[in-house]
């Protein structure tokens, strides 16, 4: 039977793609995450959301190394990384960027001393193009997205905006929200999504947000395994936020038994405008995300 696609998905097919640099994941995403949309990485604590966001940060910068400059150098590409809770493990960024640069040039046949020279030349410059900001509340986040990032875009080519994580900003208080509170939160989420999509569309940028999960209501007798663990949780922020997301990727932790790994971490594409739902295994190494066959 011939494969069919919704007509609106064609809008994203011609967009530039942000590749993971991992064969199995990029095959699922048909080349990567398309620009001009909101892509969400969700999953339980410890599933690798922040590591994946940092991996995509490196990939976004490295993707510009071969882009012909039109008045700007490739190293003028920048990433704006917003984190909202705890402390960002920034020490992880340098080895991830180095690994992405090394993989980029090695795939183009560069080897030996020339490869090491290019890696050393690029890593420091790319690290200087990662702008990190800690944001704790909705008002500050709105200011950053509506004022600071557009200002930075007048100087540099911001190719990726990351919010890690959006759930911390809009977390429901322990006592819950009444109907008016839920309506106000939904309106705030729609405004945020509008700002993000404007940035993505006007500048052909990628937007990646991480989100937390909560336990889902499961049918009685349900038994999950490593390939079904995504069915046991659901992303936070409800349907209001889900309608704003164009691409959702669910991560799950590896499964261990007797001190050894019996199933790797799982990457599950839940929906996207250009690709069908599918899953694969992955691992996290010193250089970022790795395919199971590459680890």
| Average pLDDT per 10 consecutive residues for the chain, totaling 295 residues | 49 76 95 95 94 96 75 70 89 94 91 91 92 93 94 91 92 65 86 94 94 72 52 82 95 88 91 93 94 73
Domains of the chain, residue spans: 7-291
pLDDT at 3: 53
Cα 153 to Cα 133, 166, 172, 175, 212, distances in angstroms: 16, 22, 33, 40, 29
Distance CA 20, CA 22 (A): 5
- pTM of this prediction exceeds 0.85: yes
Contact (CB, 8 A) for 284 and 51: yes
Q: In the block, which residue shows the tokens 């700002």?
A: 195
Cα 124 to Cα 94: distance, rounded to the nearest angstrom: 8
The DSSP bridge partners found for residue 278 are 269
Query: What is the helix (H) or strand (E) element at residue 131, kind and residue range?
Result: strand 130-134
Which residues on adjacent β-strands are paired with residue 162? 81, 208
The backbone torsions φ and ψ at residue 236, rounded to the nearest 5 degrees and listed phi first, read -75, 175
pLDDT value at residue 219: 57
CA distance 30 to 13: 9
Strand partners, 268: 250, 279
Q: Which helix (H) or strand (E) holds 80?
A: strand 77-83
CATH class of 7-291: alpha beta
What is the residue whose two structure tokens read 């705030």? Answer: 188
| Lookup: tokens for 14 | 């011609």
């Amino acid at each position: 039977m011939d494969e069919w696609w919704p007509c609106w998905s064609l809008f994203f097919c011609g967009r530039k793609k942000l590749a993971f640099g991992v064969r199995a994941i990029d095959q699922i995403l048909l080349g990567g995450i398309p620009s001009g949309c909101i892509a969400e990485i969700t999953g339980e604590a410890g599933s690798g959301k922040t590591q994946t966001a940092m991996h995509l940060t490196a990939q976004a910068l490295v993707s510009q190394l071969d882009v012909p400059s039109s008045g700007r150098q490739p190293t003028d590409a920048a990433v704006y990384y917003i984190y909202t809770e705890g402390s960002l493990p920034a020490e992880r960024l340098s080895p991830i960027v180095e690994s992405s640069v090394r993989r980029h040039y090695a795939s183009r046949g560069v080897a030996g001393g020339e490869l090491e020279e290019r890696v050393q030349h690029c890593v420091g410059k790319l690290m200087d193009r990662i702008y990190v900001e800690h944001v704790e509340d909705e008002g500050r986040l709105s200011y950053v997205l509506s004022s600071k990032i557009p200002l930075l875009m007048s100087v540099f080519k911001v190719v990726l905006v990351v919010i890690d994580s959006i759930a911390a900003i809009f977390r429901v208080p322990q006592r819950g929200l009444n109907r008016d509170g839920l309506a106000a939160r939904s309106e705030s989420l729609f405004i945020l999504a509008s700002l993000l999509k404007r940035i993505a569309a006007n500048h052909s940028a990628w937007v990646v947000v991480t989100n937390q999960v909560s336990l889902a209501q499961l049918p009685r007798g349900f038994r999950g395994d490593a390939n079904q663990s995504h069915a046991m949780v659901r992303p936070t922020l409800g349907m209001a936020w889900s309608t704003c997301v164009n691409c959702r990727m669910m991560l799950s932790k590896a499964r261990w038994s007797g001190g050894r790994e019996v199933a790797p971490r799982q990457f599950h594409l839940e929906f996207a405008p250009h690709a069908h739902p599918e899953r694969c295994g992955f691992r996290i190494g010193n250089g970022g995300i790795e395919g199971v066959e590459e680890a």
